[in-house]
Structure 1
């Protein structure tokens, strides 16, 4: 096998037309055997590996234009090669600037004044009497999470360069606050005590490579996250991203993703929101209407507030943003509450409860899915099912997760 890889590297090097600009691609191998040898000989061919995710048999590469990728695709060790596409965040700032807040005061009780309209709208607060999400782990795959008095980050990873997972854009911190703000200073998120993790896979401009996203999802699988929020999208197709999502699904992780901000013009919503096992979330206004910018198409499961949403910013401030990016973490936080209530339930069961409990909205399924996210009714339905099983003497058992 080593000799064939060496021969292939020589062929690719010989077949290069001109140095030119570099392109970035993802090589996925059929087997882990020969992984290191493949990397060494790619380097020898002038192809620079920039990402190596052994568990996924994935190698992200930069190469000069003109490299003969077709020769590599024909190699028996290679499953497939695709362009390392860029994804982009689905949030945008509102005109109002950053705001400060009062000094922190230690509190044990819920202050109703700190519950934003959007968190009340999805009926998350009634569930807090039983759980605030403390038994669940929620990962935000985004631009990172910055320090804020209303956020407690349990850990994280930077899949771009291995450095800090702190936010250098603001998008990820805002998303994290919607899902998990603690209420210590100014606002509550949907699940105020969920164990929050930052997966920095988008850069300071809110864009990132699919290979970085795939590594981030793999990190979530390895570290046994319960819920993953993905407030970004890709208009095209990516087998790498689809397979990363499928691996997380098989491990019982519930995933939420923003539908996109392309309005009613496009025929479909973005990936990964349209992939199996992911709850695609549309955006609604304060008047419970679908937002004008919210993408339409097959794959939308639910809708949640996404216009003029106040949430956390890096530092001590708070900002308002709009986008389906803001809608998705409402569902992620709600899913974390249900997971905390019933840790033995797998993702598909929790997702079904959330969809079944949704409040119907005008616009149709291609615009708002089943309707407005309603966490309290979903939690009540989940607890009712548990009670029926307990009365029947069967207890609560974990179900096998379908691949």
Structure 2
């Protein structure tokens, strides 16, 4: 039997000698991302899967990647050592960066479609309204890589893509809808307004209704953003473990000129490190501040934080045409994403590195906090967009 075919077949069986396979009903299984070295090897691998009756969970053609279910006791060695295989890695779970607060008031407490429009405190704090006479973010394409974006009268979504399955994008969690509102809620007569109200929103759903995703879902989402020429990606989530495949797609997006904003994490004062993908230097890593200009107690500390943005008790769009307050570095990142949309609207030729440097150079230090807590400080949209060249 072909070595590659034999190695793939070994994934479905236990190396302990037991006869159970993942094809049996209710059999345990893990998810393994197999990345091939060439397009030819990728096609060969797919051919072997088909001949063996193995159905890939998903494929990412541009990365030569195939996601397969594997027996938890399978021998991965032969496949990892195969010369046609670049790597095999576990498909890790990823978490959203929101904080659950016992006293958090849900739904209609902070704004309404029946009351005059408000400017949330964070958007005022970064001085985004001072930019709106010059630009409101048009025509910058911003992808929200999240739980989806719900239908809402204060949001306009250009297009959607679901990495989990082929079903229409529907946000049943609320996290993605909230993030989207901070970035680009419409400037109208009701509800709230976003940092860049005329930026173009794209919903890339990689998290399910419970707020759970896998690394492969994120990779596929970023791949879609590259192929569909997104200019900015908001990533309000993270994981603690390094993923070489995630790093590979992040680097590719960066080379394509996409600005990626990532929340640092919610592990608090003693975390020591920030999460991936924020830890990758190709992203803009964001810490969270409170209304009294303190770094939030839950905001992760560590090397690699670039800037800080408002992230505590942020009022934004939510499910069922409502609004709510949420907290976390998840809520800080979209303030930066909206600011980047404003900046690129005025200076579309800026590289991702130049955008990061502009935000860092125009940020303001928060007193009493170290660089590992706040990076270069609290972003200032007005200074970043209007006062520098």
Q: Which of the five TM-score ranges fits, normalised by the shorter chain?
A: over 0.9
Indicate yes or no: 2:146 matched with 1:139: no
CA RMSD of aligned residues (A): 1.8
Q: Which residue of 1 aligns with 2:156?
A: 152
**1-side partners of 2:323 and 2:286: how far apart?**
23
Q: Say which SS state the counterpart of residue 156 (structure 1) adopts.
A: strand
Alignment counterpart, residue 289 of structure 2, candidates 266, 284, 287: 284
Paired residue secondary structure (1:34): helix
- Superposition pairs of residues 240-389 of structure 1, within 5 angstroms: 240-362=245-367, 363-382=369-388, 385=389
**How many angstroms apart in 1 are the aligned matches of 2:12 and 2:341?**
50
- Match for residue 31 of structure 2? 24
Tell me the TM-score normalised to structure 2 length: 0.92
Q: Is 1:77 aligned to 2:88, yes or no?
A: no
Larger CA deviation: 159-168 vs 231-240: 159-168
Aligned pair in 2 of structure 1 residues 44, 369: CA closer, same or farther (>3 Å)? same
Partner residue of 2:183? 179
Closer/same/farther in 2, CA of residues 12 and 135 from structure 1, 3 Å limit: closer
Q: Which of 64, 69, 72 matches 1:57?
A: 64
Aligned to 2:75: 68
CA distance in 1, matches of 2:213, 2:58: 13
Which deviates more, 292-301 or 2-11?
2-11
- How far apart in 2 are the matches of 1:56 and 1:192? 34
Task: Give me the whole-angstrom Cα distance separating, in 2, the residues matched to 1:63 and 1:275.
Answer: 29
Measured against aligned partners, the alpha-carbon deviations of 1:102-128 in whole angstroms (never above 9, x if no partner) come to: 449xxxxxx8x5211110101111111
Which SS does the other structure have where 1:326 is aligned?
A: helix
Partner of 1:395 in structure 2? none
Q: CA, structure 1 residues 12+151, in 2 after alignment: closer, same or farther (shift >3 Å)?
A: closer
Contact kept in structure 1, 2:11 and 2:71, CA below 8 Å:
no
- Residue 140 and residue 212 in structure 1: after superposition, are their counterparts in 2 closer, same or farther (change >3 A)? same
Aligned to 1:107: none
Q: How many angstroms apart in 2 are the aligned matches of 1:249 and 1:5?
A: 33
Extract unaligned runs of 5+ from structure 1.
105-110, 386-403
Q: Deviations over 1:329-358 (max 9, x none)?
A: 000000010001111222211221111000
Q: Name the CA shift for 1:125/1:183 in 2 (closer, same or farther; >3 Å).
A: same
Report the alpha carbon displacement of residue 14 of structure 1 after superposing the two structures with TM. 6.7
CA contact (8 A) 1:280 1:300 kept: yes
Match of 1:170 in 2: 174
Distance 1:153 1:318 in 2: 17
Match of 1:300, SS?
coil
Q: For residue 328 of structure 1, report the CA deviation from its aligned partner.
A: 0.3
- Structure 2 residue matching 1:349: 3-state secondary structure: helix
1:101 and 1:322 map into 2 onto residues whose CA distance is 19
2:245, 2:181 → 1: CA distance? 29
Report the alpha carbon displacement of residue 16 of structure 1 after superposing the two structures with TM. Answer: 4.2
Q: 1:93 to 1:152 in 2, by over 3 A?
A: farther
In 2, the alpha carbon distance for the partners of 1:101 and 1:213 equals 32
2:105 aligned with 1:96 = yes
SS of the equivalent of 2:149 reads coil
Displacement of 1:8 after TM fit? 3.3
